[in-house]
């Protein structure tokens, strides 16, 4: 039987890891295993991509908070900034705008689990809709991939759950929209309009995923059968699934963990005396 550290929080990254490979979830979140292998080659391309993402998110935070912008935009993200100026996301509600905004809830259907999401931008109009925007600085995946990604599942779901406390109203799912904006794709967007049917389906899916996780014994975290996931996994040498990294061209940026989430979860695990398997 697994025991999570007190306050352990399930995020889209860790649930995505569990959905992709239970063993990866165990290594990363339960054992806080350090990374024995690079995610992709060449390393410089991965580092550059990560750095661009972090700097662009920082710039977007300043922009949407209305803070003063630097006189000269960082050359590393100048192209993304130009793309944004030419193709900003349309129809962003104005009344309530928060950047890098975290919500955390413990819904009854999650069997005591705490779930959290961090929104790049959350915008809301009381008489209109709630819009979640996520800035993507990597390549644009197929819509079908995004559709089943845990981020697309968890972000609108948790906003509906958190709305009474956060916004002071029960937010009907139909009034929630999730928008991915792709800087590498001329500011193209993929939009997901939420619905009551999807809300209930997502609750059932997350609840089942958590139940499956909680039912596992320590020795039962299986390795994924889909070896393509191992190509860009830092644990492949531990799992004897190959030693050399896949190329940056075939690397799927969305399979990377959210670094901030990851640091937080690992710090909680490391700081806890009660963290036992």
Rounded least distance, CB 250 to ligand SF4, Å? 15
- Residue pair 52/80 in contact by the 8 Å Cβ criterion: yes
- Decide: is 32 part of the binding site for ligand SF4 (CB under 6 A): no
Give the 3-state secondary structure of 4-43: CCCCCEECHHHHHHHHHCHHHHHHHHHCCCCCCCCCEECH
Q: What is the dihedral of CA 165, 171, 177, 180, to 10 degrees?
A: 10
Q: How far is the CB of 26 from ligand SF4 (least distance, A)?
A: 8
Using CB under 6 A, which residues numbered 212 to 271 contact ligand SF4?
A: 223-224, 229-230, 233, 235-236, 239, 241
Q: 26 or 83, CB closer to ligand SF4?
A: 26
Smallest separation (angstroms) from ligand SF4 to the CB of 246 = 11
Residue 25 CB, nearest distance to ligand SF4 (Å)?
Answer: 8
Q: Which is nearer to ligand SF4, 22 or 156 (CB)?
A: 22
User: Mask 2-31, x = binds ligand SF4 (CB under 6 A)?
Assistant: -------------------x-xx--x----
By C-beta, is 156 or 257 nearer to ligand SF4? 257
Nearest Cα neighbor of 63 from 97, 93, 96 is 97
| CA angle 28–33–36, rounded 5-degree value | 110
Q: Please, which residue, 9 or 26, has the CB nearer to ligand SF4?
A: 26
3-state secondary structure 195-215: CHHHHHHHHHHHHHHHHHHHH
Bridge pairing between strands 176-182 and 188-193: antiparallel
Q: Which is nearer to ligand SF4, 171 or 233 (CB)?
A: 233
Question: Which helix (H) or strand (E) segment is 123 a member of?
Answer: strand 114-124
Q: Report, in Å, the least distance between residue 19 CB and ligand SF4.
A: 11
Distance CA 132, CA 56 (A): 17
Binding site for ligand SF4 (CB under 6 A): 21, 23-24, 27, 223-224, 229-230, 233, 235-236, 239, 241
């Amino acid at each position: 039987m697994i025991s999570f550290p007190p306050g352990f929080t399930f995020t889209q990254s860790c649930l995505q890891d569990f959905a992709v490979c239970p063993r990866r979830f165990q290594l990363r979140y339960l054992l806080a295993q350090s990374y024995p292998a690079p995610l992709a080659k060449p390393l410089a391309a991965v580092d550059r991509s990560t750095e661009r993402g972090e700097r662009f998110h920082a710039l977007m935070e300043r922009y949407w908070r209305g803070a003063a912008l630097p006189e000269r935009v960082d050359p590393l993200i100048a192209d993304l900034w130009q793309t944004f100026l030419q193709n900003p996301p349309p129809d962003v509600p104005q009344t309530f705008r928060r950047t890098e905004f975290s919500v955390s809830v413990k819904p009854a259907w999650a069997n005591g689990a705490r779930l959290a999401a961090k929104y790049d931008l959350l915008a809301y109009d009381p008489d209109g809709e709630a819009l979640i925007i996520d800035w993507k600085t990597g390549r644009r995946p197929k819509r079908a991939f995004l559709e089943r990604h845990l981020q697309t599942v968890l972000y609108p779901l948790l906003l509906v759950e958190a709305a009474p406390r956060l916004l002071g109203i029960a937010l009907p799912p139909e009034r929630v929209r999730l928008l991915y904006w792709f800087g590498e794709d001329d500011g193209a967007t993929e939009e997901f309009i939420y619905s009551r049917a999807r809300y209930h389906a997502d609750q059932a899916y997350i609840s089942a995923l958590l139940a499956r996780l909680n039912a596992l014994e320590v020795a039962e975290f299986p390795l994924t059968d889909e070896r393509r996931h191992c190509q860009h996994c830092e644990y492949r040498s531990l799992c004897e699934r190959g030693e050399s990294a896949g190329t940056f061209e075939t690397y799927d940026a969305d399979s990377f963990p959210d670094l901030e989430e990851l640091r937080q979860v690992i710090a909680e695990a490391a700081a806890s005396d009660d963290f036992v398997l």
